[in-house]
Amino acid sequence: MRPGETPPIAVDGDPRVVLRPAASAQDVEFLRTWKNAHRTSFFDQSEITRAQQAIWFKDLCRRDDDFMYMVDVDGQTVGCMGFRRIGQVVDFYNIIRGVPPLGGPWVMSRALQALLRAAFHEFALPVTGKVLRSNPALAWYAANDCLVVGTEDTHYVLEWMPAHGASGAHEPEASGERSAR
């Protein structure tokens, strides 16, 4: 992801919502704070320091096949989500609702659908994600066309299959992290 070169992603049907590339120091701190607050939903559950986050973000900015976006509603940042190419698939990760969205319960669903479409169009590969078995958002992923296609000891492998489900389902009740990396 190259800050300043990566375009934002429009969210169909809601011009108030935009996925913009993470770029500012505030974005980096939001990512760290939200991930730490919901670290039990991630594979790496250790607390992330500011220094560790700065190194991660610097590395992210050097990778051409890894994209992290902030979800903004009417100019307020409410979450984040990313995708990256790993071999012959695109992996969606760090799907985090940091604060309840101003735009209502459909905001993160619409943002996720826009991200998954952009990921597919960027690489024309299957779009997958890994979600811990303990993640409370599994039903939300299924309602957003991300179906379980594999089971591992600690997690499920999901694949985005847009023709299968009912895109744009509502948010899960609990706020916070929705995917693991």
Mean pLDDT by 10 residues, the chain (181 residues): 80 92 92 86 84 91 94 94 97 91 81 97 96 91 96 96 57 35 35
Helix, strand, or coil (residue 34): helix
Q: In this structure, what token pair is assigned to residue 133?
A: 């078995």
The model's pTM: 0.85
pLDDT score for 3: 61
Give the pLDDT of residue 5: 81
- Give, in order, the Cα–Cα distances in Å from 174 to each of 23, 49, 81, 88, 140: 27, 25, 17, 33, 11
pLDDT at 111: 96
User: Which CATH number is 72's domain given?
Assistant: 3.40.630.30
Tell me what pLDDT residue 175 has. 33
Q: For residue 22, what are the domain limits?
A: 9-177
CA dist 20 and 10 (Å) reads: 9
For residue 3, being part of any structural domain is answered with: no
